[in-house]
Structure 1
């Protein structure tokens, strides 16, 4: 080889090496959201805007400091509970300095999104901005992603976690949680598929006794899907066409469900409803559940008479922590098939291996110990 050829080869190698070192330390991120839109980021998101406080819990399952990747959230503390929020403040005080943006339950504001200066805006499927609003945001240089833990959680939760993992660089942790959740769900499905017993009738009353009106109930989809997955027959599915609705007391009494489940939480303070979840001791939870099931018409149901009445924290419904709801419902609805399921052990596992802020206190309870 001539000196010229050798020099040219060395030069080419040198340029190649220089090019490698000059290249960005990241690769472009491309991921599809639950609405089928392709979301592209030049690098991992460091300033995410979310429109629902429960997405903080989702990030907490895959990121050791979920607040560090946020620029704005709606400060809808009631959705995660005041005691849980207090625990986030204690561990991540920067949460109090985050900018506030529109809630998925409120009026949307493009201006608030732009003012927060996020490098990614994440919105809820059920209340996503219009195409015009999304276009305005994206023309300002802010990518938009749609996720869903609420409308169709059994279909969309995995993809939502996968997107959050991809945009924050926490893919491995996201996949670990997805596997845990999917393995538990598949086990429940397999046992039910091999069983021919009639499905118990289930009445789940969200925000039970918040008003004198009886009785709120899931209809088709959403919480009703959880009841079906856990082996039950939702008594509201036949008469409520939407996701939620109201049953009259006469229908409830006539249906005479085998299992009754009330939901509640700190948002029920000042009502006759169930107080349950972080911040409440067992005496409070049990006494308020007893009050809920003592109402006229409810007290005479077979489920209550036979001791198959239960209380569940509403913050675990429509939640990234829905595996706890699924396991709890299965153990209540079909104890003959799922007596070995221990949601308390699953909560302990999530606290030890996933959640940046552990879930504490009583989040589900049986009327009869």
Structure 2
């Protein structure tokens, strides 16, 4: 027994050997950890300058505008799969297009309800949807206190703008949507596509010294008896200016949108008149246009809009420059189509080579998860 004990290392030497062995284990563990893929939070900046930090791409997003679903469909093959809630504002994309989404992505029917950017806001409703990210519109964003309550519950918040200043802010909004869904490359590809089409128009207008035609664009024309809703300094007015026109509302409306009185419209005597409409105008005297409506319906309702008292007196109507466009093409990345049709209507002398139908074909083929169909713009014949 004594000989066996004599062959054992001393306690001090045993401790030394154990320490060395432990150190070797630590080195091995550190090497394994170093070889693993690095995981770190990533940060995006929203339109207000707020920093939004996410640990990974969002898997449950709440949106407050149905047109953000269309935006996601430009960069994601299954845009419904990344949503937890939407406002179910089907009128904003149109019932025909919604049905196509429902058929391709049945899960859309199971999404929870979110408050609309045009409706009442509720922190409780946001939290009930259990999102990991809530995306709100700039024009109706929650208050700082409401955002703080949402974030305190562990939900990130981002603000984007497709409405107030779309030509300035829509690109950054698309990049944010791409970043938070892990589709940054696809978002960048679409942004480059849209930018190339807009720049082509902007460059021609910048080089032209001709007087700008006066344009009256009436959103939701003839939805009520009141006349006349108009863009002011921003929103659709930006599209008119880019396309080479003079928005008659910009001189009278200091905000993004507002109302012009009929006397002002008649006095400015616009040379081009454009009405917006869509399926949400059913039951009114407004323009019915977009998926689900044939050319005869579009022509009859556009003629009815143009025949209203005061509007029928405008030079634009007398000279045959009356046009209609689906409102669903506004305040979304599909605005590239709106700008192109406006350019061909406002300055046909400059843009006879612009083909919005070809642009739509490319959007459907390269980007949109659910293709856009139907008659979305037309001129009164």
TM range (shorter): over 0.9
- Matched residue, 2:347: 334
Shift of 1:314: 0.9
- Pair 1:123 & 2:136 matched: yes
- Pair 1:231 & 2:244 matched: yes
Distance in 1, matches of 2:353 and 2:249, equals 28
- Matched residue, 1:363: 376
Aligned pairs for 1:194-209 within 5 A: 194-209=207-222
Shift of 1:16: 5.4
Q: Deviations over 1:28-76 (max 9, x none)?
A: 2211111101111101111111111111011011000000000111111
Which one is further off, 316-325 or 295-304? Answer: 295-304
Q: How many residues align?
A: 361
Q: Deviations over 1:201-231 (max 9, x none)?
A: 0011111111222222111211111111111
Residues 14/93 of structure 1: CA separation in 2 closer, same or farther (3 Å cut): same
Shift of 1:21: 5.5
Q: Deviations over 1:255-301 (max 9, x none)?
A: 22110001111111111110001111111111111111122222232
- Matched residue, 1:99: 112
Shift of 1:27: 4.1
Which one is further off, 355-364 or 181-190? Answer: 181-190
Distance in 2, matches of 1:242 and 1:120, equals 30
Decide whether the 8 Å contact of 1:48 with 1:119 is kept in 2. Answer: yes
Shift of 1:251: 2.1
Aligned pairs for 1:12-51 within 5 A: 15=29, 18-20=32-34, 22-23=36-37, 26-51=39-64
Q: Which has the larger radius of gyration?
A: 2
Aligned pairs for 1:252-331 within 5 A: 252-331=265-344
Give 3-state SS (helix, strand or coil) of 1:62's partner: coil
Shift of 1:10: 9.6
Decide whether the 8 Å contact of 1:138 with 1:144 is kept in 2. Answer: yes
- Matched residue, 2:80: 67
Residues 189/13 of structure 1: CA separation in 2 closer, same or farther (3 Å cut): farther
User: TM-score w.r.t. structure 2 length?
Assistant: 0.91
Distance in 2, matches of 1:127 and 1:20, equals 46
Which one is further off, 252-261 or 58-67? Answer: 252-261
Decide whether the 8 Å contact of 1:29 with 1:167 is kept in 2. Answer: no
Residues 338/11 of structure 1: CA separation in 2 closer, same or farther (3 Å cut): farther
Give 3-state SS (helix, strand or coil) of 1:338's partner: coil
Shift of 1:104: 1.3
- Pair 1:154 & 2:146 matched: no
Distance in 1, matches of 2:84 and 2:213, equals 46
Distance in 1, matches of 2:235 and 2:304, equals 27
- CA RMSD, aligned part only? 1.8
Distance in 2, matches of 1:184 and 1:9, equals 62
Shift of 1:13: 8.1
Distance in 2, matches of 1:15 and 1:187, equals 57
Distance in 2, matches of 1:32 and 1:51, equals 19
Question: Unpaired segments of 5 or more residues in structure 2?
Answer: 1-20
Shift of 1:23: 4.5
Residues 9/185 of structure 1: CA separation in 2 closer, same or farther (3 Å cut): farther
Question: Unpaired segments of 5 or more residues in structure 1?
Answer: 1-6
Shift of 1:248: 2.2
